């Protein structure tokens, strides 16, 4: 029987944690009874530098409930880094680890299927959402656009898979070898390449508290995903440059024929100015990334580990 760790990043989740821990405790006990997980299995709650009572709660659960372990990060490092901290800690003691969100939007009833596939020999099991009716129209369409764009760029991401996934210990060890600062786990995990499979589930509504991914963070996350896995935008701006040159040339010819030099000149200059700024922005984005990768600062610091 495998030792299964359930790794849960938590940022200001005092409202949902008691219920999450209660439901997962029930679930894990069920899995132990049905022979899918052994008694060393745990949930590992990672406090990502919360400002509310999240860590107090985790400490209390740890004292009362032998299925609960906790990690406290020294700062808020974001969902991906918090998850990584948990997974890298889990890999020391587990046979496989499942990552899930604190708000239980990911249906925990399918956890059995994850572990069954692991027992059958899969190293990575991706949770894939059947439908996204619980998400807003805006989130659904932007997400769809994102997956499309990623596939145009040639990046291998699993469609409608968030970070609900199981990884075996050796997949976790492989993950540990990817040292990038700009972390986008959904892009890295398929690169590992071990045998994988899917589990389909319905995504629920967050049952309390608010999303910790406002629009600004979501866009930053999408940008990270694109620029960490593809340099095609750099090529795209070069193509754009060619296109703009061509169009301006036609514009100049037209202006010469129509004899409206001033208007054409102004429009052309503004247009080119805009294109240059856009292109500089994209190049700058990549340079910024090189900057943070070269510094290679630690991605997280664990302040406390309640085993
Ligand atoms: N989270 C985190 N650090 C952050 C932001 C979010 O650890 O800086 C956690 C959060 O507590 C939750 C998970 O990441 O467990 C997903 O966040 P959320 O449910 O708010 O995102 P959504 O489901 O709305 O995309
Ligand atoms: Mg959520």
pLDDT-based confidence at residue 133 (cuts at 50, 70, 90): confident
pLDDT-based confidence at residue 52 (cuts at 50, 70, 90): very high
Separation of CA 264 and ligand 1 centre (Å): 50
Q: Which of 24, 213, 214 to mutate to test the pocket of ligand 1 (most atoms within 8 A of CB)?
A: 213
Query: Does the structure show a pLDDT above 80 at 123?
Result: yes
pLDDT-based confidence at residue 1 (cuts at 50, 70, 90): very high
The whole-number pLDDT of residue 130 equals 87
Q: Which of 73, 160, 212, 218 to mutate to test the pocket of ligand 1 (most atoms within 8 A of CB)?
A: 212
Separation of CA 88 and ligand 2 centre (Å): 22
Whose CA is closest to atom 16 on ligand 1?
101
Which ligand is the nearest neighbour of the Cα of 214? 1
When pLDDT is averaged across residues 142-171 and rounded to a whole number, the result is 90
Whose CA is closest to atom 24 on ligand 1?
211
Query: Does the structure show a pLDDT above 80 at 238?
Result: no
The whole-number pLDDT of residue 254 equals 86
**9 CA closest ligand 1 atom index:** 7
Whose CA is closest to atom 17 on ligand 1?
212
The whole-number pLDDT of residue 50 equals 97
pLDDT-based confidence at residue 154 (cuts at 50, 70, 90): confident
Give residue ranges with CB within 6 A of ligand 1.
9-11, 13, 48, 76, 78-79, 82, 101-103, 105, 211-213
Structure tokens at 201: 């589930």
pLDDT in tens, 276-289: 888 888 888 888 88
Whose CA is closest to atom 25 on ligand 1?
213
Query: Does the structure show a pLDDT above 80 at 72?
Result: yes
Q: Which of 6, 8, 10, 11 to mutate to test the pocket of ligand 1 (most atoms within 8 A of CB)?
A: 11
The whole-number pLDDT of residue 156 equals 84
When pLDDT is averaged across residues 64-72 and rounded to a whole number, the result is 97
When pLDDT is averaged across residues 60-74 and rounded to a whole number, the result is 97
DSSP bridge partners of 200: 128
Q: What are phi and psi of 125, to 5 degrees?
A: -125, 120
The whole-number pLDDT of residue 186 equals 92
Separation of CA 65 and ligand 1 centre (Å): 24
Handedness of CA 284, 288, 293, 295 (dihedral sign): positive
pLDDT in tens, 9-30: 999 999 999 999 999 999 999 9
Handedness of CA 25, 167, 189, 131 (dihedral sign): negative
pLDDT in tens, 166-218: 999 999 999 999 999 888 999 999 999 999 999 999 888 777 788 877 788 88
How crowded is residue 241: how many other Cβ atoms within 10 Å of its Cβ? 14
Separation of CA 299 and ligand 1 centre (Å): 17
Which ligand is the nearest neighbour of the Cα of 20? 1
Whose CA is closest to atom 14 on ligand 1?
79
Query: Read out DSSP for the chain?
Result: ---EEEEEEESS-TTTHHHHHHHHHHHHHHHHHTTSS-TT-EEEEEE-S-SSSHHHHHHHHHHH-TTEEEEEESS---HHHHHHHHHHHHTTT-SEEEE--TT--B-GGGHHHHHHHHHTT-SEEEEEES--TTS-HHHHHHHHHHHHHHHHTT----TTEEEEEEEEHHHHHHHHT---SS--HHHHHHHH---EEEEEE-B----SS--S--HHHHHHHHHHHHHHH--HHHHHHHHHHHHHHHHHHHHHHHHHHHT-HHHHHHHHHHHHHHHHHHHHHHHHHHHHHHHHHHHT--S--EEEEE-
pLDDT-based confidence at residue 43 (cuts at 50, 70, 90): very high
Q: What are phi and psi of 197, to 5 degrees?
A: -150, 175
**162 CA closest ligand 1 atom index:** 25
pLDDT-based confidence at residue 64 (cuts at 50, 70, 90): very high
CB 43 within 8 A of CB 28: yes
pLDDT-based confidence at residue 253 (cuts at 50, 70, 90): confident
Mean predicted lDDT score pLDDT of the chain: 91
């Amino acid at each position: 029987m495998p030792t299964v760790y359930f790794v849960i990043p938590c940022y200001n989740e005092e409202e949902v944690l008691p219920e999450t821990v209660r439901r997962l405790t029930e679930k894990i006990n069920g899995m132990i009874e049905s022979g899918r997980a052994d008694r060393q299995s745990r949930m590992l709650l990672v406090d990502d530098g919360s400002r509310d009572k999240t860590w107090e709660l985790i400490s209390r659960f740890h004292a009362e409930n032998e299925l609960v372990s906790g990690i406290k990060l020294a700062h808020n490092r974001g969902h991906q880094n918090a998850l990584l901290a948990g997974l890298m800690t889990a890999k020391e003691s587990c046979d496989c680890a499942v990552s899930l969100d604190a708000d239980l939007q990911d249906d925990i009833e399918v956890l059995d299927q994850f572990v069954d596939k692991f027992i059958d020999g899969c190293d990575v099991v991706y949770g894939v959402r059947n439908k996204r009716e619980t998400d807003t129209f805006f989130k659904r369409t932007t997400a769809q656009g994102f997956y499309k764009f990623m596939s145009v760029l040639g990046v291998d991401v699993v469609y409608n898979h968030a970070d609900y996934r199981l990884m075996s210990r050796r997949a976790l060890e492989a993950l540990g070898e990817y040292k990038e600062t700009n972390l986008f786990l959904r892009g890295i995990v398929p690169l590992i390449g071990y045998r994988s499979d899917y589990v389909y589930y319905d995504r629920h509504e967050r049952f309390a508290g608010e999303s910790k991914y406002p629009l600004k963070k979501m866009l930053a996350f999408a940008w990270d995903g694109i620029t960490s896995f593809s340099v095609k935008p750099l090529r795209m701006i070069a193509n754009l440059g060619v296109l703009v040159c061509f169009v301006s040339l036609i514009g100049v010819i037209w202006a010469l024929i129509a004899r409206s030099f001033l208007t054409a000149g102004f429009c052309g200059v503004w247009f080119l100015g805009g294109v240059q700024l856009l292109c500089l922005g994209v190049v700058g984005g990549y340079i910024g990334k090189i900057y943070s990768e070269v510094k290679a600062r630690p991605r997280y610091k664990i302040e406390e580990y309640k085993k």
